[in-house]
Amino acid sequence: MNNSGKSKKENVAAIIPYQHSTPTPRVQGWELEQIKHPIDFSQIRIEQWLQEEEEEKSERSGVGEVNLGSPRSCFVKIYTGSFKNKKSISRDVMTMSDVVHDQSCAHPNIVKFFGACVEKKSLYVIQEYVASSDLRNFLISSRMLDHSAVISTLSGSQLTNFVIGICDGLSFLHENDVVHGGLCAKNVRINDRLVPKISGCCAEGGGRWRCKSQRWAAPEYLASKIYNDKSDIWSLAVVAWEILSLGGTPF
């Protein structure tokens, strides 16, 4: 796929969507027999790639629009056929389709999942597009100097509301037996109303998992690679520290 222009909408691909009514153990290498929300990719248009196109890349992402009865802004994550951990990503997609799908998840602090499909061995994951920044960069950009002291253009109540919103979103995931497994400020989006939204939801339940953010990982994970909802609480505390330090790097 070539990006012929960032301002011009681009039809990504017209494909035969994966049909849940005829389950298949593997869809072009992806274990997606349980996905509940296939999307017809003729209804997706990418307006801007977030990275330059490189053939050797196993992941790409872009923003655009998806027709779900009416046009919706979306974030598109693409995992090519060369992506190594297909089983893990397939599990994530099935979890998101159950817990944070747009039709069932009304929680304001979770990035919603619209659906997914496979085309030419690449997995396309379609999510809600949050136009602003990730939390870490948002906090860093708020810094300013006042007589050699670093302060923020954000108020104390706004910073507190970030913590409260992330707590609420994480509580929703845990109530639905989902452990995030990689919570950090980079995995929280801030929308134009300053509402924090958790992204990057991982796996149902708990167990062994490669934590994506080891600086935020609980001691029991580092010792035994075991994680659970309590491990997420440790990561949540580190995120709270990130907020108070205006985007500082822990440890």
Convert the pLDDT of each residue in 75-134 to its tens digit.
998 888 777 777 777 778 887 888 888 777 779 999 998 988 888 788 888 999 998 889
Q: Which residues pair with residue 101 across a beta bridge? A: 113
Question: Domain boundary at 102, 128, 154, which?
Answer: 128
End-to-end CA distance of the chain: 41
Q: Above 70 in pLDDT, residue 9?
A: no
Q: Above 70 in pLDDT, residue 246?
A: yes
Total domains in the chain come to 2
Q: Do 145 and 122 share a domain, yes or no?
A: no
Convert the pLDDT of each residue in 228-240 to its tens digit.
899 999 999 999 9
Residue of 101, 134, 118, 100 lying closest to 39 (CA atoms): 118
In the predicted model, what is the mean pLDDT of the chain?
A: 80
Q: Do 124 and 139 share a domain, yes or no?
A: no
Asked if the structure places residue 249 within a domain, the reply is no
Question: Domain boundary at 95, 128, 161, which?
Answer: 128
On the CB side of 10, CA atoms within 13 Å amount to 16
Q: Which domain holds residue 115?
A: 10-128
Q: CB of 214 within 8 A of CB of 222?
A: yes
CATH number of the domain that residue 142 is part of: 1.10.510.10
Q: What residue has token string 């799908």?
A: 101
Q: How confident is the model at residue 10 (pLDDT cuts 50, 70, 90)?
A: very low
Asked if the structure places residue 87 within a domain, the reply is yes
Q: State what percent of residues in the chain have pLDDT above 90.
A: 38
